[in-house]
Amino acid sequence: MSVRPSSSRSEDVFAGVLARGGAAEQVSGRAWLRALLDFEAALARAQAGAGLISAEDALAIEAACDPDLYDPAEIGAGAATIGNPAGAVVQVLKAAVPDAPVHQDATSQDAVDTAAMLVAKRALVPLLHDLRGAADAAAALAEAHRDTPIIGRTLLQQARPTTFGLKAAGWMVALDEAADQLHSVRLAYQLGGPAGTLDPPYTLDLGLDRPLLPWHTLRGRVGELAGALGVAAGAVGKAALDVVLLSQSEVAEVREAAGGGSTSMPHKHNPVAAVSALGCAKQAPGLVATLLAAMVQEHERAAGAWHSEWRPLTELLTVTGSAASWLRTSLETLEVDADAMSARAEGDTGAAATLVQRALEHR
């Protein structure tokens, strides 16, 4: 197979907004190809360790599992032959090491499901880093402004006074809880063979859990991951929306230091980071819904529902990671006008300050 430059984020004119941060790179076509090859290499190593194939064959297969040897675009085109990219990967590996037992005992879904979990695991590293970073920025705002009065707003109307610190502490708690939930999501490899009856006497060394049973049509892990990503996107979106509303010209209680103008109105100081975070976060619910709908699958192997997961999962990781990255920038650069806040808030805010302290101490 010839090697040529693969498609990347640089070809997407929306990538700067909708594919920001490290998560997007971890779900690229090359990242998926790497994960598929990692499965095949781990399978060969495990089978050699169990005495099922020779050590020489395992080394040959592992050497062939170098993602730089192949073009993701050609693998993608080859996926049409059997309806998934694992077939194309196995084909090029067999061509590279024709005498070695490539993909022995495994089925295509074993490879793709395991790759999906590897892609998710790797994408969650930068995603969680940005989510925790946004929570840290919210905590710093809560600490600095625990006693800064601000008018509370219910149904978008002025209500009773609270503190900006309590509002920021709310963002912090929601982001921390979402990050904790994502961190605890169960990510397991797949190895059930053609009909889900394989019980291999070995474990794949991929940093993933070993499942109790094959989960070809038991999609709780995908649903759990999707739900946790959706909650994280929601937490990000809530904080971003608050920043957008507080940045309105008529309110002007906060502003992003790195805000941007407009092609026709350069005098404007738009909260670009918060707006972009919100734009990414709002895509998550539909993607989550698609993944949850795909959980209803036929018998031992699905006819279409499984295939419907791949793109939404990739996009969900991308937009959630991008949203977290944007919110982190927004909160880390947020400028607070305490005078403007205090001018609209009259009354006792001691209880709010106490809640802020409790939240910070609990962290």
Tens-digit pLDDT profile for residues 238-259: 999 999 999 999 999 999 998 7
Instruction: Pick the catalytic residue from 9, 132, 153, 301.
Output: 301
Rounded CA Rg of the chain: 24
17-25+107-362: CATH architecture: Up-down Bundle (1.20)
Using the predicted structure, report yes or no on whether residue 165 has a pLDDT greater than 60: yes
Query: Is 146 one of the annotated active-site residues of the chain?
Result: no
Instruction: Pick the catalytic residue from 262, 311, 358, 363.
Output: 262
Rounded Cα–Cα distance for residues 232 and 255 (Å)? 24
Find the mean pLDDT for residues 150-166.
96
Find the mean pLDDT for residues 316-330.
98
Which pairing describes strands 254-256 and 149-154: parallel, antiparallel, or unpaired?
A: unpaired
String of DSSP letters for 286-320: HHHHHHHHTT---TTS-SSTTGGGHHHHHHHHHHH
pLDDT in tens, 30-76: 999 999 999 999 999 999 999 999 999 999 999 999 999 999 999 99
CB 146: neighbour CB atoms within 10 A? 22
pLDDT in tens, 1-29: 343 333 445 578 999 999 999 999 999 99
Query: Is 262 one of the annotated active-site residues of the chain?
Result: yes
For residue 10, what pLDDT is reported? 55
Q: Which of 313, 327, 276, 336 is nearest to 143 (CA)?
A: 336
pLDDT in tens, 259-300: 777 778 887 889 999 999 999 999 999 999 999 999 999 999
* Burial label, 3 (beta-carbon count in 10 A; 0-12, 13-18, 19+): exposed
Q: Which of 249, 271, 247 is nearest to 259 (CA)?
A: 271
- For 12-39, letters b (16+ CB in 10 Å) and e give eeeeebbbbbbbbbbbbbbbbbbbbbbb
Q: Identify the DSSP state of 152.
A: E
Rounded Cα–Cα distance for residues 243 and 171 (Å)? 11
